[in-house]
Amino acid sequence: MADQQRSFLSRKIFPDGDEPDAQFTLANERTFLAWTRTALAFLAGGIALGAFPVEQFSNEVRTGLSVFVLGVGMFVAASSVIRWIRVERAGRHNRPLPVASAMPVLSAAVVVASAVAIWLFVLA
């Protein structure tokens, strides 16, 4: 595609390389949207933890958990954009796809959230 036909943002983020196949680009966008949904779920959970009092926790613990869950949501949202750009650049330069570096953090956060949910609803 001629450089003049590309948007300003596209030229800034992806200054070089060949235009990838549309299927590759659309698959990358679907993955980005999945990561974004995950981030939104964590953000909603953090807001809910902060907004609704839970009898099993003191206000300090509840606030700490809320900040932790909100932080995970913000981390996942930021890392999803970074991953989308890295994968798109790899496709434009015919390089191997990068590893999802946010996955260990996300997995650990899900384990912590699951443990807290078990503690709240099963063991309490």
Residue 72 lies in a domain: yes
* pTM recorded for the entire structure: 0.80
* DSSP 8-state assignment for residue 20: P
Domain that holds residue 55: 19-123
Question: Per residue of the chain (124 residues), what is the pLDDT tens digit?
Answer: 456 677 787 777 888 878 888 899 999 999 999 999 999 999 999 999 899 887 877 888 889 989 999 999 999 999 999 999 999 999 999 999 888 888 898 899 889 888 888 887 787 6
The answer to whether 66 and 57 have CB atoms below 8 angstroms apart is no
In a domain? residue 1: no
| Residue 66 domain flag | yes
| Domain contains 45 | yes
* Contact of 41 with 110, CB cutoff 8 Å: no
In a domain, 52, yes or no: yes
